[in-house]
Chain A
Amino acid sequence: MIAFFRLAVFGLIGLSVLYGLVLIYARSVRREKLEKDWLREGSIGAQEDYVSQGLAEYRRSFAKKLILLVYIVPIVTVGLVLYVVNFS
């Protein structure tokens, strides 16, 4: 059981690091896109307002929740491998 907890703890630490990095990356990509959208739409209003409004929408969006797959996919994969290797 110690081996299991070791895997669980270090695995979750690793996945959390990856989750954080993907979170930062996705937000940066979204911000860049919003800045370009603002330019293309004719630079109406303050750019900072446009971008922060877009980011607020993004924060509530489904796209951001999809980043949780960073946790879900590996854990489901472990369960699947465990089943296929031992019980099928």
Chain B
Amino acid sequence: MRYVKWGLGVILAIIVFGFLHYTLPQHDIVRIVSSENRRIDFGENSIFWAAPDSGNATAANRDVFFINTVKPNGKPMVYRNEDTGWGWPPYFKFDTSNLQAQANDLTSTSANPQWVSVTHYGWRNELLSIFPNAVGVKAVAGPDDTSFPWVNTVILLFLLVLVLLIWRMIAQFRERTIDPLLEDVDDAWDDSRTAARGKWRRFKGWLGTWKGKPRN
């Protein structure tokens, strides 16, 4: 039973971590090589794609912007560039076309690199053909540029406060509402037992009178 409990706990922790890792924003330092749009027919991986440009119709397939980049270590990284609109995840991104123009503007060659910080969420997975969604691009000084993840810190602290609040709420509800109820039930049970014992004793006393014992 202990292993089952631990197993379920570990699975839950992995799901929560994976969910947050997918959804929270991250910054990559990359060099933009080119950008394009491709028609995508969504299949098994459709959950990993966002929404069509806000205001457009939702069809079975559509054109999606892509930003092709190279990381400082020479490995490629491809981002999609899609609106999230009013849906999940809550980035409220509507400026897809503007972002594509910015990305085009920051395109550079390996001979004369212009490093950019791409804010994105999501994962790149070759087996599923899924791409992280770029949310913003910003020119940076060099490939070693770093920044403190303020947004993630605030969001995680907020989630922690929310979890603590819910935990306190449940504890308060138990202490003030459930426990008194249980005490009432307990008391009622005790009362009924005392009453029953009294009846039993009286009955035994009555039986005793047949054998000549005095009632006590």
Chain A contacts to B: CB under 8 angstroms:
1, 3-4, 6-7, 21-22, 25, 28-29, 31-32, 78, 81-82, 85-87
Interface status of B146 (Cβ within 8 A of chain A):
no
What does DSSP make chain A's interface, helix, strand, loop or mixed?
A: helix
Report A29 CB to chain B, min CB distance, Å. Answer: 6
Interface status of B95 (Cβ within 8 A of chain A):
yes
Residues of A within 8 A of B173 (CB): 25, 28
Residues of A within 8 A of B169 (CB): 21-22, 25
How far, in angstroms, from A6 to B51 measured CA to CA in the complex? 15
Interface status of B135 (Cβ within 8 A of chain A):
yes
Residues of A within 8 A of B132 (CB): none
Interface status of B206 (Cβ within 8 A of chain A):
no
Question: Which one of B61-69, B86-94, B184-192 contacts A?
Answer: B86-94
Can you list 23 A-B pairs with a CB-CB distance of less than 8 A? A1-B55, A3-B86, A3-B87, A6-B86, A21-B169, A25-B169, A28-B172, A28-B173, A28-B176, A29-B172, A31-B176, A32-B176, A78-B90, A78-B92, A81-B92, A82-B92, A85-B91, A85-B92, A85-B95, A86-B93, A86-B94, A86-B95, A87-B95
Interface hub of A1, A31, A82 (most chain B Cβ within 10 A): A82
How far, in angstroms, from A81 to B85 measured CA to CA in the complex? 12
- Indicate which residue in B90, B95, B168, B176 contacts A81 across the interface (CB closer than 8 Å): B90
Residues of A within 8 A of B85 (CB): 3
How far, in angstroms, from A87 to B16 measured CA to CA in the complex? 31
9 closest cross-chain pairs (CB), A and B:
A3-B86, A86-B95, A82-B92, A7-B86, A25-B169, A4-B86, A85-B93, A28-B176, A81-B92
How far, in angstroms, from A22 to B55 measured CA to CA in the complex? 36
How far, in angstroms, from A78 to B86 measured CA to CA in the complex? 10
Interface status of B136 (Cβ within 8 A of chain A):
yes
Q: Determine if B136 and A85 form an interchain contact, defined as CB atoms under 8 angstroms apart.
A: yes
Report A46 CB to chain B, min CB distance, Å. Answer: 19
Nearest A residue (CB) for B84: A85
Report B14 CB to chain A, min CB distance, Å. Answer: 26
Q: Determine if B168 and A25 form an interchain contact, defined as CB atoms under 8 angstroms apart.
A: yes
Interface hub of B51, B136, B169 (most chain A Cβ within 10 A): B169
Nearest B residue (CB) for A82: B92
Nearest B residue (CB) for A84: B136
How far, in angstroms, from A48 to B165 measured CA to CA in the complex? 28
- Indicate which residue in B51, B86, B172 contacts A25 across the interface (CB closer than 8 Å): B172
Nearest B residue (CB) for A4: B86
How far, in angstroms, from A42 to B118 measured CA to CA in the complex? 64
